[in-house]
Amino acid sequence: MKTLLIILLCAAASAQAQVAVKGGVVHTMDGPAITDGVVVVTDGRIAAVGPAATVAIPAGYRVLEAAVVTPGLIDAHATVGLSGIFNVPADQDMLDRAGPVQPELRAVDAYNPDDELVAWLRSLGVTTVHTGHAPGLPVSGQTMIVKTRGRTVAEALVREAVAVAATLAPAIGPEGVAAPSRAKTVALLRQELIRAREYAAELAATGGDGPPPARDLRAETMVRVLDGELALMVTAHRVRDITNALRLAEEFGLRLWLDGAAEAHQLLPQIKAAGVPVLLHPTMTRAFGETENLSLATAAQLADAGIPFALQSGYESYVPKTRVVLFEAAVAAGHGLGFARALAAVTRDAAQLLGIADRVGTLAVGKDGDLALFDGDPFEYTSHCTGVVIEGEVVSQLVR
């Protein structure tokens, strides 16, 4: 009986992964859009994509139809899954104020794939999220990449550790402690990098002959940053904070991601010369305080300058605790970015920036079967996301 149950479950899972999607227009992001196109997903991967006249749908496949089909959307930076829907201490794991510098905190240990906000983003076409500890502390913790499905972290996981989140704007202090100044924040980060360099030297000096230094999770994590294994994602909005981040990256040879970057439009030549990508603030971020000089046209300016960038939902301190990259991209499209570049910023370009373009971001044979289905232009206010497929599984479908 137990063996029969396993066989039936496996058969059901296999059937879920056999899907064909017909689209009036299919934006593959791997070439020109296809009119009257078809995407066939077999065992979770794209098996065929092309015009309906040339792509045969195998017998027995579940068939979905939509006016417009795109790759599953990618949120280039969020805190969803750590910032929960109820906005109570029990589901707010994005910031631990026990100390100002905590790179050892792992997003994978705090992520809740079952949070309703994850399902909400999924219903709007978001299939992949780079999420983790929030900006605010000088070093708040690590980030990860997940698919917006699964009841466990293991089911959702794409990459366990991607970056370490730091903040160079005036940071939040630990409970009961005043926030550090800009100079102090930079000094804290520099000291941590120097300490990690010394720790790595101690490890190398043992040469296998002597006892290694005591395990230090904080130093080990920052060594991974120094080695380029993990990016250093620095939230910096003001010109002086962005230039501080660029200077630190050059000093230590870091793989830097600029996060937020509200005043990036004032430093386009410097950012381009540094070869640093930008995880741009949500287009509709409120313009006050550190972000008072943001521009709705920054995405277009970054694209025109040839600077790699992607759009994000970011971290929101108020309910519902997350934005939606679909809406942020739509507004950017209307402020100079245009449809094609806006869609790329939440699909292909986001995947390339995050280092996951081998799996997602475009509709191409061999890639994950992640698709978003719409009943009209995805960036039109009156359009709806009518279905979502993740690795061949229909995880969301609008019923009218």
Task: Calculate the alpha carbon distances from 243 to 94, 191, 269, 347, 367 in Å.
Answer: 26, 18, 12, 28, 37
**Cβ count within 10 A of residue 91:** 17
Amino acid letter, residue 115? D
Q: What is the mean pLDDT of residues 311-334?
A: 95
Residue 397 pLDDT more than 60? yes
What pLDDT sits at residue 205? 85
Count other Cβ atoms within 10 Å, centred on residue 11. 10
Sequence-distant (6+) residues with CB within 8 A of 157 are 108, 144, 145, 146, 147
147/118 Cα distance (integer angstroms): 9
Predicted structure pTM score: 0.94
Half-sphere exposure of 236 (CA within 13 A, CB side): 28
Q: Output the pLDDT for position 17.
A: 74
pLDDT digits (tens, 9 = 90+) for 270-300: 999 999 999 999 999 999 999 999 999 999 9
Upper half-sphere CA count for residue 220 (Cβ side, 13 Å): 9
* pLDDT score, position 177: 73
Confidence band for 176, pLDDT divided at 50, 70 and 90: low
For residues 333-350, average pLDDT: 98
- Which among 52, 112, 119 has a CA at the least distance from the CA of 88? 112
Kindly report the backbone phi and psi dihedral angles of residue 262, in degrees, each rounded to the nearest multiple of 5, phi listed first. -60, -30
Q: What structural domains and CATH numbers belong to the chain? A: 15-71+362-397 (2.30.40.10), 73-354 (3.20.20.140)
Q: What is the mean pLDDT of the chain?
A: 93
Q: Which of 114-128, 198-212, 220-234, 364-378 has the lowest mean pLDDT?
A: 198-212
Instruction: Check: CB of residue 385 under 8 Å from CB of residue 371.
Output: no
pLDDT score for 16: 56
Confidence band, pLDDT 50/70/90 cuts, at residue 249: very high
Q: Could you give the percent of the chain with pLDDT greater than 70?
A: 95
Cis peptide bond prior to 320, omega within 30° of 0: yes
152: Cβ contacts below 8 Å, ≥ 6 apart = 113
Cross-strand pairs, 274 = none
Strand partners, 141: 165
pLDDT tens-place string over residues 9-35: 333 444 457 999 999 999 999 999 999
Summarize pLDDT for 258-270 with one digit per residue, the tens.
999 999 999 999 9
pLDDT at 317 over 80: yes
pLDDT (mean) for 192-207: 91
pLDDT at 59: 96
For position 179, what pLDDT does the model report?
A: 76
Between 4 and 122, where is the model more confident? 122
